[in-house]
Amino acid sequence: MSAAESIIRIENVTKTFGSFTAINNVSLDVPKGSFTTLLGPSGCGKTTLMRLIAGFHEPDDGTIVIEGNQVNGVPAYKRNTPLVFQEYALFPHMTVFENISYGLKIKKMPRQEMKDKVDAMLEMFGLQGMENRFPKHLSGGQQQRVAFARALITGQNILLMDEPLSNLDAKMRVEVRCELRELQQRTGITAIFVTHDQDEALSLSDWIAVFDKGRIRQIGTPWEVYFKPKTKFVADFVGVANFINGEVVGIEEHDIIVKFNDGVIRVNKYNDKFELGQAVTLVIRPECISIIEDKNAHDLSENVFTGTIGQSSFLGRMIRYWVEAGPIQWIVDDTSPSVRGTLQGIIHVALDKNKIHILPKED
């Protein structure tokens, strides 16, 4: 993310409420035309950062630059950064047309021009024919679309969204999020999106900033934060992971050998950051482990461990197994389950050395 192409630049921003530091020296460059997501647990400061960008809070320290202009001290209504909230905040006494056209009416746009723009928005969001309805006569998904249309109609380049999908049911969330991504790509606007839902973040974003306790822990593509987390917190927050603590006992040309409890694991060496004797944590996603069913398999090679299936959880598209193998409990996702039923008893778990991420062990 180079500075030249960033549309929003947050530099060393800190925001306190009394003695509590809600945003702690955060820096973030948002590339123009990107879909950038702030992901983190509840209370980590996501909304506070959005409010700082939109101008509803002022930082105690640091600067915020939007489209090349420092905006510290600039009031919200002059910042051109519409914010869409979880509670769509539609005007209940206004029709869909009146809600969507609100920003244009304030600008005193002529009636016909306004109608053309609203029509374009209605079409874009599949709301044709609903312009005379009141919000209470719309579904949650439709209300959310009206909120997006209202935010986008004034032609801003930036759209801020704070958990805008969290009031929708599971299926509608996925539907609206696909629409949202498609719309963002089509219009080329810069979207900053807040969520605590990792699936949402992974599926929507160009960039994800993982937050914890007022700090950014990692900024990366969805692929990077999922498969190359820089810390255990990030690994754990963006998905389910097996963590195995061990020690580097061998470094070969292509592989690193890690000893844990009573076994060794071979890991592909994709960088030279590790040295002999170093304490490390291996991060292995459940879908990166395979199960070998054959109880009598003799030719068990490296990175294969024998265990017993404890619990299993049927999720339709996959089955999650908890496998007890010595002191380790593995979480393994069988992503192509058999119609014969769930597995039971003794099995072997097999690790692919190319699907193991290695981190220095944290204290």
Ligand X SMILES: Nc1ncnc2c1ncn2[C@@H]1O[C@H](COP(=O)(O)OP(=O)(O)O)[C@@H](O)[C@H]1O
Among 6, 34, 36, 47, binds Mg ion (CB under 5 A): 47
Cβ proximity to ligand X, 47 vs 142, nearer residue: 47
Instruction: Fill in the DSSP letter of residue 317.
Output: S
* Total residues in contact with Mg ion, by rule CB under 5 A: 1
Strand, helix or coil at 25?
A: strand
- Taking each helix axis as running N to C, give the angle between helix 140-152 and helix 170-187, from 0 to 180 degrees, rounded to the nearest 10: 20
Cβ proximity to ligand X, 163 vs 334, nearer residue: 163
CB of residue 183 vs ligand X: minimum separation in angstroms?
24
Main-chain phi, psi angles of 157, to 5 degrees: -90, -10
Find which of ligand X, Mg ion, none residue 77 binds, CB within 5 to 8 Å per kind: none
54 sits in which H/E element: helix 46-54
CB of residue 59 vs Mg ion: minimum separation in angstroms?
17
Find which of ligand X, Mg ion, none residue 270 binds, CB within 5 to 8 Å per kind: none
CB of residue 184 vs ligand X: minimum separation in angstroms?
21
d(CA 36, CA 148): 17
CB of residue 351 vs ligand X: minimum separation in angstroms?
35
Cβ proximity to ligand X, 150 vs 196, nearer residue: 196
Answer for the pair 10, 53: CB distance below 8 angstroms, yes or no: yes
Cβ proximity to Mg ion, 124 vs 147, nearer residue: 147
Answer for the pair 96, 61: CB distance below 8 angstroms, yes or no: no
Q: Answer yes or no whether residue 91 interacts with ligand X by CB under 6 A.
A: no
DSSP secondary structure string, 66-96?
Answer: ETTEE-TT--GGGS---EE-SS----TTS-H
Site for ligand X in 24-53 (CB under 6 A): 40, 42-48
Binding residues vs ligand X (CB under 6 A): 17, 20, 22, 40, 42-48
